[in-house]
């Protein structure tokens, strides 16, 4: 498969702080940040039935370059995922996370549904351009075997 074809494949991208670190993520702060982009975004918090974390998951909609995507956030384990996403949209979302969700100076790691199935470790998301991130995500998909 050519890189252009790989870039159009859709999977789930999962973004998290590195092991042992935290972004201090809260559903309220993520909701506020999403609503800054679009006050009418779909947001639903599902309350957990056990444990110390109020709200076991947050589901949301977001629009990137006129494409409507769905995502999910968890407080434990902490992270944000974007579903049914191309490489380009994942790169735009990663840049948005870096500047709007992850506190300045904190790291972001990523994996994909295919990477998890292939038992690939989380990979650091460098502070680079969308096109460089897209290249990183393409290489990840190839390594994960998402071409089958």
Over residues 6-56, the pLDDT tens digits come to 999 999 999 999 998 999 999 999 999 999 988 888 999 887 654 445 557
What's this model's pTM, rounded to 2 decimal places? 0.91
Q: Could you count the other beta carbons within 10 Å of the beta carbon of residue 123?
A: 17
Interatomic CA distance for residues 46 and 55, integer angstroms:
5
SS3 (DSSP) at 145: coil
pLDDT in tens, 70-109: 999 999 899 999 999 999 999 999 999 999 999 998 999 9
Q: Cis peptide leading into 77, omega within 30 of 0?
A: yes
Query: Beta partners for 114?
Result: none
Interatomic CA distance for residues 100 and 79, integer angstroms:
14
């Amino acid at each position: 498969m050519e890189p252009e074809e790989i870039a159009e494949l859709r999977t789930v991208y999962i973004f998290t702080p590195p092991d042992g670190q935290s972004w201090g993520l809260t559903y309220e702060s993520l909701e506020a940040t999403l609503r800054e982009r679009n006050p009418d975004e779909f947001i639903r918090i599902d309350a957990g039935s056990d444990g110390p974390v109020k709200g076991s998951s947050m589901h949301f909609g977001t629009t990137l370059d006129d494409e409507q995507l769905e995502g999910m956030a968890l407080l434990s384990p902490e992270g944000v995922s974007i579903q049914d996403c191309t490489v380009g949209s994942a790169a735009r979302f990663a840049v948005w996370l870096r500047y709007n969700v992850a506190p300045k100076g904190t790291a972001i790691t990523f994996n994909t549904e295919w990477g998890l199935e292939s038992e690939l470790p989380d990979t650091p998301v460098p502070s680079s351009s969308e096109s460089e991130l897209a290249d990183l995500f393409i290489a990840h998909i190839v390594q994960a075997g998402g071409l089958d």
